[in-house]
A and B are shown apart, each in its own frame.
Chain A
Amino acid sequence: MGVVMALATVSAALETGGAALVALAAGALVAMDRSGALFWSAGVLGAVFVSCILQTGSNLLAHRMAIDIQAETRLAMGRKLWSAPLGAIQRVDAAELRRTLMEDVERIEDGVAHLIPDLVAALVAPVFIGCAMLVIDWRLALAAFLPVFAGFLIFSFILRGDGGLSTRFVAAQAGVDTALQEAVSMVPVIKAYGMAPENLRRAEGAFKELADAVGRWLAFAATGTNWFFLATTSSLLFVAPLGLWLYPLPEGIAVLTFFMLGAFLLSSIGARLFGAMGRLRIQEASLARVDALLRLPDLPLLEGVAADGDSIRFEKVGFSYGRDFVLENIDLEIEAGQKIALVGPSGAGKSTLARLLLRFFDPDTGRVTLGGRDIRSFSQPVLAERFAAMFQDNFLFSQTIRANIAIGRPGASDAEIAEAARLSRADDFIRALPAGYDTVLHRGEGLSGGQKQRIAIARAFLKNAPILVLDEAAAYLDPDGQYEIQAALNALATGRTVIAIAHRLSSVRHFDRIVYLEGGRITECGSHDALIALDGAYARQWRSHAAARSFTLRNAGTV
């Protein structure tokens, strides 16, 4: 960075030097010294040439650095994606994550490669001009800088005294974006209900707010901005008359020319700094998002004792994340090979409990053990080996189907991959595709939800982990392919410990144990029959479920 700044500084100095050389040439001309004039004007050519070469160098260097910083930032983000709690990463919206990784990091280039050299040049050039002016004549120097100082006083006044107007303006622009985003996602409803676009209150409100903010901003800041521009471009107004007064011609031509040029160069600095400020603000927002991601804490790795088997224990586990998803005082023991269902109303903590087991988060209090060993003492790959997870969102990469299944066990043979696909009931439809296992998926496009699900199940088959954590909703992801998914999941569950988040009670009634959660606590726990005998919340839910199963839709009735 130092080299870049040094080059930019030297280049700015040469610009001042160029003005001085032009002034000297003018002086020589008026003094009728033709060879002197030629000498100095050749000097101008030389200065410009050298300045341009330095600029090229500093420019390329700055870009090189910017590009390297971008790459390092992305690599650091990549590492963070692995070391931070998965739950914390998943709380960041996928689109947001993509934007940070791509666009926000992309912006660093403008910051490092353009903004910093620009700012250096815009700040250093006036210093050089000012020094040269002071050496020549302090009175004229004062005259040249007076309006510039005034301009920056006005500017700091705008920045400080706008009473949050510029913040409000930025917020109003963001509000318009959010409102439009919502409107775009709601288009089916807007159309189906014949809503007039002008009745979209959120969008209209955001438009009004923006118009209002702009109006107020114009009334206040634009006036200040105009004063700023007028002041910073008015150096000549002060320098020229005073110079004419102080330096009689023709002898004074060299000094006058230098001050005129200097004053004109100063006039462009205001606009340059002003532009840089705006870009700086955009940079700030981008860097803040990058920083927030990189600041996520890493999952710690504790000292471990030897693990023994695959039994799972939740010991006095408590966890909270903001206001939502709270678990309190969870004690639960799951023997290897058992089938456990987590049931309860939405928001009761079923998914959080399952995610703590997979170490998406670490508990705030208590601990989770696997084979008697705290799961925080397992390295990530070793812990991951013990579990297969089946949720609703099964991410498929834009690679071949073969590669997507092989993620389950890198290095698996084609025969093993095909066997896994057969077990997950995916083999038939994959073979029916024109390119078979070599079909390249574009984010899973062209496959039904059920087909994608079965590819994900094939992955889990290939992995062959002893514990299956599964959201039952995964079985209903695709109503059309439901039958095949259900069969595939049943095959996958065979011979493994199963921990299922259950929604349709009838599908888990035969489980070894049903854990009923409510408000983040385990309120009932036991076999289906035991819980029915208890006649509590589970029994009530079971009765409601049974009634729902015999529902027949009819439209013949009273209006």
Chain B
Amino acid sequence: MGVNDRLPDFGSGGDAGLVGRMIDGILLGAQPLLVAFFLWRALDADPAPAALWCIIALAGTAILRRLLLWPASRRLYALAYGGGVRMRRAILAHLVGMPLGAFRAIGGGKVMQAVSEDILWLENHASHTRPEIVANAAVLAVCLVGAVVVWPVTGLSAIFGMAIGLALLSFARRRLAVGLERRARSLAEVSLVLQEQAEGVAVLRAFADGADADGVFARAVERLRDGAWRGVRKITPIAVLFRMVIDLSAALAIFLAVFTFGDASHADAARLAISALLVVCATVPARNFASLSAMLELARIGRANVRELLAVPLTPTGRDGSPEAFDVHYENVSFTHRGRTAPALEDITFKAAQGEMTVLIGANGSGKTTCMQLLMRFWEPDRGRILIGGRDIRDIDSRALSTIIAPVFQEALLFDDTIGDNIRVGRPSASDEEVEAAARAAAIHDVILGFERGYQTRVGALGARLSGGERQRMCIARAILKDAPIVILDEATSALDPENEEAIQRAIAALAAGRSLFVIAHDLASIVAADRIVLLDGGRIEASGSHEALLVSSPTYRRLWRRSAEMRRWKMAQS
């Protein structure tokens, strides 16, 4: 999968399908035209041959339509759904390829909206809306052009009237889009209230005096009701007006033609009648444009959303292979999150020799996690650089970089797949024995064997039978299997799991052994053996050194150390 910087196409081959649908529309519109023609012919001649020719001509159009419709619609559907899958794949690849920070900034809800609902509308657009527009336009054009040829007054006035209707629609569509957006924004606030009342009902039930005692929920519902009604009053007249203009333009055309009809011949009267038939037929496809234009608008919104996602630049990848040494060097690294003014990290410089253990500590928001994310290139530093083995990480191929770092996140992220395959993510080529060895080292092997299907058990099927600590150990097994020279532990020990506390510690010790280790930690007692403790404060390094050195040099560290000891001794409900 290459770099996708533009909207993946639904396939240019769709044009053939569209042409098919257009010809089908022309044939469908040709039916009344043909009938009209034979009506006219039958006027002065024997009806029998006219009827026969009529059968032949109409049957001919039906056969042609049968021949056209099948391949055209097959092609359109195949392209629509094939294109939908291609587009989802492209979005997924793009999400994985963009900096994680950018991905987080977009938000999961918006991403899901794009890959599910928006693409559904685009599929619908390709398989239904677009061909329908083409087909309806063809029927409309044939009927109206036919009417003009048969009796210009009828045809031209109908064209004039319907053109006004369609112009009204395209004008209204833009106005509608703006109006809908404005309404959606004003209602978002109300629906937020409603949602929170639903999601926070546990809190409300624990505290409030009774069901919706202060009427917040009911008021929000009323505001939604009013807003919806205001929207209807704005939109409905336009929809009705459109239909009225279309129907009235046919009726008026007929009336005008009859009104201006002088003392012409019998044949002329028949021609006028036929033109009347044609303009009435034209109203059927014309009316359909109301709903089609609404769907067009939804597809336009969908396309804009998808395009916005795909416009996020990907993390540029370097060309160099994996470095030979794994000492890590932060050189004057500064970074500010997009949209914030205060820097997340400022002038961070430290060096971690290969095989050392480095611990980052500091308060919430001091930049610990961001600092480690920069090493994994989840973000790009604004200034300064990070070197591994003397090589700027931006010059290292992103696949190569990902193979030398094994992170364990605070959140135990597992696929809803088998346990074996979840561990194997660490090294897809690993044998069953290697997977098992990793699980054993992570102190999870026995637990896995306890499940009926062992390593073949699906994680999702276990649900609550899998504790947080057990999930975390599976993630650690995955990292062990990866066998990367650099290990990052982001609060990996914070999973609360009393009966497994010790097992997690064993697993982490197995993972850490012999590697360059970076740890984000709070329980200071467990990391006193670190080669270097980096104390961050507001994005800057406040102090750095070994536990013993910091106890001497840093008053902040001394305070944290005292507090940490107190926390360990905490006894609940004891004042």
Contact = CB atoms under 8 A, between A and B. Distances in A.
Contact of B58 (A48, A79, A236, A541): A236
Interface string B492-506: 001011110110010
B31 A71 contact: no
B522 A480 contact: yes
Interface string B232-269: 11001101100110011011101100110100001001
A42 B255 contact: yes
A109 B571 CA distance: 56
Contacts of B288: 268
Given A48-B251, A381-B209, A346 B509 contact: no
B194 A509 contact: no
Contacts of B218: 75, 78
A193 B482 contact: yes
A556 B252 CA distance: 93
A543 B359 CA distance: 28
In this complex, the interface size class of chain A, counting residues with CB under 8 Å from chain B, is: 35 or more
Interface in B194-227: 194-214, 217-218, 221-222, 224-225
Interface string A169-192: 000010011001111111111111
B273 A29 contact: yes
B539 interface: no
A250 B43 contact: yes
Interface stretch (A155-163, A309-317, A546-554): A546-554
Contact of B567 (A191, A381, A486, A509): A486
A297 interface: no
7 contacts: A45-B255, A244-B51, A395-B203, A480-B364, A483-B567, A490-B575, A553-B526
Question: DSSP majority for the A interface?
Answer: helix
Contacts of A176: 85, 88, 116
Contacts of A199: 428
B89 A197 contact: yes
Contact of B204 (A241, A387, A407): A407
Interface stretch (A18-26, A128-136, A369-377, A413-421): A18-26
A77 B509 CA distance: 51
B364 A32 contact: no
Given A79-B211, A241-B51, 10 more contacts: A63-B236, A184-B115, A201-B421, A230-B66, A230-B69, A244-B39, A244-B50, A249-B42, A264-B32, A389-B206
A205 B205 CA distance: 43
B59 interface: yes
Main secondary structure of the interface of B (DSSP, over half): helix
A381 B512 contact: no
Contacts of A202: 415-417
Interface string A76-90: 011101110010011
Contacts of A523: none
A161 to B, nearest CB: 19
B240 A30 contact: no
Contacts of A187: 95-96, 100, 103
A384 B205 contact: yes
Interface string A454-482: 00000100010000001011011011111
A25 B567 contact: no
Contacts of B39: 244, 249, 253, 256
A214 B288 CA distance: 27
A265 interface: yes
A248 B95 contact: no
A482 B239 contact: no
A237 interface: yes
A502 B240 CA distance: 65
A29 B529 contact: no
A390 B39 CA distance: 84
Given A78-B197, A197-B93, A214 B229 contact: no
B155 interface: no
Nearest to A388: B206
A97 to B, nearest CB: 5
A303 interface: no
Nearest to A227: B66
B280 A19 contact: yes
Residue of A97, A407, A553 ringed by the most chain B CB atoms within 10 A: A553
B570 interface: yes
Given A249-B39, A347-B464, A86 B205 contact: yes
Nearest to B416: A182
Contacts of B529: 552-554, 556
A264 to B, nearest CB: 5
Contacts of A223: 70
A227 B497 CA distance: 62
B573 A500 contact: yes
A475 B570 contact: yes
A230 B240 contact: no
Interface stretch (B171-179, B300-308, B513-521): B513-521
Contacts of A29: 258, 261, 269-270, 272-273
Interface stretch (B342-350, B386-394, B401-409): B401-409
A522 interface: no
A74 B221 contact: yes
A48 B247 contact: yes
B243 A82 contact: no
B457 interface: no
Given A187-B103, A545-B501, A241 B415 contact: no
A171 to B, nearest CB: 14
Contacts of B280: 18-19, 22, 261, 264
A429 B498 CA distance: 32
B223 to A, nearest CB: 10
Given A29-B269, A507-B571, A52 B212 contact: no
A423 to B, nearest CB: 12
A253 B203 contact: no
B499 A81 contact: no
Nearest to A259: B35
Given A102-B194, A245-B48, A253-B270, A408 B42 contact: no
A324 B567 contact: no
A557 B514 contact: yes
Interface in A486-512: 486, 489-491, 493-494, 498, 500, 502-511
B145 interface: no
B206 A384 contact: yes
A19 B247 CA distance: 12
Contacts of B221: 71, 74-75, 78
Contacts of B523: 479
B419 to A, nearest CB: 14
A98 B195 contact: yes
A388 B270 CA distance: 87
Given A197-B92, A261-B281, A25 B58 contact: no
A185 B224 CA distance: 32
B246 to A, nearest CB: 10
B572 A489 contact: yes
A82 B522 CA distance: 40
Interface string B24-44: 000010011011001100110
A268 to B, nearest CB: 5
A194 B243 contact: no
B168 to A, nearest CB: 14
A305 to B, nearest CB: 22
A145 interface: no
**Most chain B CB inside 10 Å of its own CB: which residue of A241, A410, A489:** A241
A67 interface: yes
Contacts of A180: 88, 92, 112, 115-116
Contacts of A89: 201
Most buried by A among B276, B355, B398: B276
A71 B225 contact: yes
Nearest to B32: A264
A51 B250 CA distance: 14
Interface stretch (B76-84, B331-339, B548-556): B76-84
Interface stretch (A2-10, A54-62, A284-292, A431-439): A54-62
A457 B236 CA distance: 50
A190 B251 CA distance: 63
